[in-house]
Every structure is written in structure tokens, then in C-alpha cells.
Structure 1
Amino acid sequence: MNKREYTIALAGNPNTGKSTLFNVLTGLRQHTGNWPGKTVIHAEGFFTYKNEEYRIIDLPGTYSLYSNSADEEVARDFIIFGKPDVTLVVLDATALERNLNLALQVLEMTDRVIVCLNLMDEAKKKGMVIDIDNLSKKLGVPVVPLAARNKEGIEELLETIARMVHGKIQTKPIVVSYSRAIEEKIAKLLPLVKEVVGEEYPARWVALRLLDGDTSLLHALQHQPHHLLKGGPNYACHCSAKSI
């Protein structure tokens, strides 16, 4: 019987050391090209841990996943439609507040997340102290401190990835609360979204994107295999227009 190959997505803001982590994990086992139909660079690599194979996709560095650019659309679509076994979100420990915006967006999309708190060596030099356990508790997912360029924390990260892919880590991602008006609209839209996507995609996140007028998501949903959309290929548009 062939061993399963696990897929890992690597997300993060630019300049967080995301590509450094990618290189540390994959070494020379990597290649680059373009995403289909895009001018965006596609970087993919492989690594082995405890005799199991992992494929890791280095998603474009972005500040958000709101499909305002080709980079954001590529990152968003892979997390949603590629359904990676684990999504690693790389944060800069010296700029945690700014970086958490992307992490919270990813946590709305999937519960299979590990937060990589990179540049911990720089944070220490600046006298910054981060309560890793409390941050993990607040976010509802594992947080692993790293200094990727020094290969510090890599073994702990690999072990955390292995435990997650084997179902040994239960996560409960934080649910971001919005204004009363937005929450009321989400509540109204959710049943309609669930009719369309069922359990295939995160209904609350889809509802938020529809409320934001994300037409590129509608387009992407309509181009997924029709069996994934319960009402057929045109039903998503109907749901959006009807609800908003």
C-alpha cells in the first residue's frame, strides 16, 4: 500500500521569514513555476519526517486574503479549494499585532492551522516577551516559536505538524465577532450559504465574503466541480443576489 503524502500550505505576510522556513524544511527538494493562468510564482517543495512524505506549498506573501490582487486570490483559493492537511501561518514576532490580521483570516477559513511565531531571536533582542501558551489558548490553535534562519524550533514544528495530520491535536479557532449589523446579516445569509456549499466549505467565511461583494469568490465557487455545489453551478450567484 502506498504511503499517503500530506499537503502543507505556508502562508504569511511578506518579510516574516516565510521563504526562509520553506527553504529550511525542503532544502534542495523544491521547484518553482507559475500558478495555472497566473503570473504569480508557484513554489513547491517536499520533506520527509519520521518516514512520512510532506508536500509544502509556499503561498504568495500577502497582508490579507480579500482577493484584492492575484497573489491574494491564489493564496485564498489554495487554502479553500486545495484543502491542505495543515496551513502554517508565519508571523513576525516583532510585529505581532499587525501580523495577526492574516492569521485571523486564515482561522476563519480552516481549523487545521499551526501558527509559526518566527523571528523570536529578534524579538528577544528587542526585549519583547510573548506568552506563547496564552496566545495559543486565545487563537485556539498551536503556536510554535521559531527562529527559522537559525533552525531553532524546527523539530517542535515538525512534531506538531505530524501530530495534527494524524488527528492528535484538536483545535478550536477563535471566532471573530463583528458589529451587530454585520452579525445579523451573517445569520440571515448562513442558511442559504449552507444550502449551496453544505459542509464542503466554511459557511460563515463564505457569507462574510459575499457580504463584502467578493465577486472573484463567486467565480471561483462556480468553477469548482458541480457536485460540490448542491444547487448546481449557477446557484451561488442566486444565493448572493437574493441575500444581499
Structure 2
Amino acid sequence: MRTYTIALAGNPNTGKSTLFNTLTGLRQHTGNWAGKTVLMAEGEFTYGKSAFRMIDLPGTYSLYSNSADEEVARDYIIFEQPDVTIVVLDATSLERNLNLALQVLEMTSRVVVCVNLIDEAKKRGVQIDLQIISQRLGVPCVAISARNKIGIDTLMEQVEKVASGEISPEPVQIPYSKEIEEKVKELQPIIAQTLGTRFPTRWIALRLLDGDESLLKSLRERMQEPTVPVQRERIGHEQTICH
């Protein structure tokens, strides 16, 4: 039986942990992330002909390394490269929740968007067009109620298809200003030459331009090799990444 790894991402209070508990049941354990005081929850379950290992990432509003929780979630998606990242959204607060979803889509294409609390949305008269959301984001989008176990099978069908490669999502690429796009194009070949093609060069370029010191530190620790200079245009002096 093939085993796939799933990362579960989402804002706080979206029902992410409820979904985690629904899928993993008693087959889960908790601890701390290495070197962090941030809680880590991991569980296992089977669906169809596949086995899954699920990591419940800390609930965050962004992945811009402004806190230990954000760094943990960011580093797991980038460095561990799960087979699928499920981004859990609150159906009653889609606009706010989509910010995190778009950030994840810049980091990995293997994403399934899960719109949770769909029953609460219906009670409030909120109508959600999953097909339009899926088309605009470029990834599968499924509506569920984790608490009432509605839509779980549909969710897992999409997750299994993405994990196995039956579906290859093509996430929307967020356009930035002309100046930023030009700098990204300059940086991408340098990043690819330095780090290879394993990591998303466009996303790393954007983070370098934003002066993300935490990401640089994580890259150095992962690569454990000498550093090389990369120009950080935002503040006008050299920055470094791992070679």
C-alpha cells in the first residue's frame, strides 16, 4: 500500500483540527517541532487503497515568518514537500482565508482547497461556487463540514488523485509590479543554480526581495554549505543564500 504525506494548513478557527481528528481518529500523537516550542500533531489513516500520514500544521494567517508558528508551517511545506497540502478555509470568511491559500499556492502546486463549515455558510445564506473558485485558483476545491462529516469522501478522492499524480494542479500565478517581476526573473536562474530545482525558485526570489532573514537562515541550515552572495534590491546591499 502506497503511503502519502498530507500537510494540513489553515487560519486559526477554520475547523482544521476538527478535520484532522475526523480523519485520524485515535491514530495520532503530539509533540513539539524540533527546536521549537510549537506543538506538532501527526496522525495516520487509510482511504481506499492508500495510506496517509497527516501533519496538522500550526494555524496561521500568513506564511511570512513573522512568528514561530508561521516559520514552522512555511518550512514544512517548502522543505518536507508533502504529497498534498490541504488548505482549510472557513466558508463564512472566505475572503480573509484566501490570503493564506494564495501564499501556499506560490509555494507548491500540490494543493487541495477545502472549504469547511459549509453548513454554517448555508445557514447564513452564503452561497459558494466551488467550480469558479477551483478555476480561478487552478486547484481542486471541495466543500465539507468536518464536524458533521459531510463531504469527507469527496475531499479524500481529490487528495488521493493529486497525491498519486492523476491530477496535476496548475495554480494561478499572482502577478506583481513590473519592477518586482523583473527582479524575480533576474534572481530565479541564480537561485536554481545555487539550490537546484527542488525548491520553488519564484517564491524564494520573492521572499529574498522582501528581505526574509528567517528563510535565509532555514536555507543555510538545510543545505549546511558555504554561502554565496545574492543581491537584495529592496535595501540595496548584498544578501546570501546557501550554495
Regarding TM over 0.5, the answer is yes
SS in 1 for 2:51: strand
Q: CA deviation at 1:243?
A: 6.4
Q: CA deviation at 1:198?
A: 2.1
1:110-125 correspondence to structure 2 within 5 Å:
110-125=108-123
Between the aligned partners of 1:108 and 1:65, the Cα distance in structure 2 is: 11
Q: CA deviation at 1:81?
A: 0.4
Between the aligned partners of 1:187 and 1:160, the Cα distance in structure 2 is: 33
Query: Do the aligned partners of 1:189 and 1:243 also contact (CA within 8 Å) in 2?
Result: no
Deviations along 1:70-95, whole A, 9 cap, x unmatched?
A: 00000000000011000000001111
Query: Do the aligned partners of 1:223 and 1:233 also contact (CA within 8 Å) in 2?
Result: no
Between the aligned partners of 2:24 and 2:148, the Cα distance in structure 1 is: 15
Between the aligned partners of 2:189 and 2:226, the Cα distance in structure 1 is: 18
Between the aligned partners of 2:182 and 2:220, the Cα distance in structure 1 is: 26
Task: Give me the CA root mean square deviation.
Answer: 1.4
Work out which of the residue numbers 78, 85, 88 in structure 1 matches 2:86: 88
Q: Are 2:2 and 1:21 aligned? A: no
Query: Do the aligned partners of 1:86 and 1:112 also contact (CA within 8 Å) in 2?
Result: yes
Q: CA deviation at 1:191?
A: 1.8
Between the aligned partners of 1:16 and 1:204, the Cα distance in structure 2 is: 29
Decide whether aligned partners of structure 1 residues 144 and 16 sit closer, same or farther in structure 2, where only a CA change above 3 A counts.
same
- Flag structure 1 segments of 5+ consecutive residues without an equivalent: 227-231
Between the aligned partners of 2:4 and 2:210, the Cα distance in structure 1 is: 33
Deviations along 1:43-64, whole A, 9 cap, x unmatched?
A: 0001111242110000000000
What does residue 5 of structure 2 align with?
A: 7
What does residue 233 of structure 1 align with?
A: 226
Q: Are 2:148 and 1:150 aligned? A: yes
- Flag structure 2 segments of 5+ consecutive residues without an equivalent: none
Q: How many equivalent residue pairs? A: 235
What does residue 181 of structure 2 align with?
A: 183
Q: CA deviation at 1:171?
A: 0.8
Deviations along 1:32-53, whole A, 9 cap, x unmatched?
A: 1100110000000011112421
Moved more, 55-64 or 173-182: 173-182
What does residue 64 of structure 2 align with?
A: 66
Please identify which structure carries the higher strand content: 2
* Percent identical: 62
1:99-118 correspondence to structure 2 within 5 Å:
99-118=97-116
Q: CA deviation at 1:234?
A: 1.0
Please identify which structure carries the higher helix content: 1
What does residue 229 of structure 1 align with?
A: none
- TM-score by length of structure 1 reads 0.93
Q: Which amino acid aligns with 1:42?
A: M
Between the aligned partners of 1:202 and 1:243, the Cα distance in structure 2 is: 21
Q: Which amino acid aligns with 1:209?
A: R
Between the aligned partners of 1:243 and 1:181, the Cα distance in structure 2 is: 18
Decide whether aligned partners of structure 1 residues 225 and 182 sit closer, same or farther in structure 2, where only a CA change above 3 A counts.
closer
SS in 2 for 1:223: helix
1:43-54 correspondence to structure 2 within 5 Å:
43-54=41-52
Q: CA deviation at 1:104?
A: 0.3
Q: Which amino acid aligns with 1:61?
A: G
Q: Are 2:204 and 1:206 aligned? A: yes
Query: Do the aligned partners of 1:8 and 1:55 also contact (CA within 8 Å) in 2?
Result: yes
